[in-house]
Amino acid sequence: MRTSNTSALQAFESLVAPRSNMVAFGGQRTRVLQSAPEKELNRLFDHYVHHAFTRKEGHEAKLKRDVRKVIDELHLEIPFKQHTFKLYDGELPVQVDLAQVVDRHVTKVIKPFYFDLTSREGLWDHADKWIPKLVRLKRAGELPERTLLPVGHSTGSERQMDALDEIKRELAELGTVIRATEHDKVRKFALDS
């Protein structure tokens, strides 16, 4: 009987023995996760799954950062922060970077858009990625009436500008569309109660 316990213990120790892995957990990582776990997990997910390290900051990321800076300078009592809507019992998560939440209820959303008019497919692909999500949020009663949609874009042909105008009309059914450079309107929207 003693040998079976010994061999079971050896088998267990063999299974749990440290090995060379791609991911290694240590004390320092644990401390980072303890201070802001959701933010750090999102960063790690973006890095390892979406390969954030392979792409430069895009125009839309810069636009979001600029809008975030305008809002942060206001030092609002209730800040805008990242929020994930969980539609259909969490089956369809929709993440927005700038949402104001009061008593676990989203009261305002700012969703900046940047459209690259140098690529016709890119223009429509980006619109088709987000407009259906916003429509679903609205149908579910989750998209607040107070939704601001700052829109920036590259230069393009008359035909591309016509396509952008069509996209802006679709977005206008979901929120207030402004030019991305209208920081005064972003400030007013953020400060209005």
pTM for this prediction: 0.70
Contacts 24+ apart (CB under 8 A), 131-135: 131/167, 131/170, 131/171, 131/174, 133/92, 133/94, 134/171, 134/174, 134/175, 135/174
In this predicted model, what pLDDT tens digit does every residue of 40-66 receive, in sequence order? 777 777 777 766 666 556 888 999 999
Per-residue pLDDT, averaged over 83-103, amounts to: 92
Residue 37: φ, ψ to 5°: -60, -45
pLDDT band with cut points at 50, 70 and 90 for residue 83: very high
Residue 10: φ, ψ to 5°: -65, -40
Amino acid at 53: F
In this predicted model, what pLDDT tens digit does every residue of 166-178 receive, in sequence order? 999 999 999 999 9
Whether 31 shows a pLDDT value over 50: the answer reads no
Place of tokens 């979001």: 64
Q: What structural domains does the chain harbor?
A: 2-48 (no CATH), 57-191 (3.40.1350)
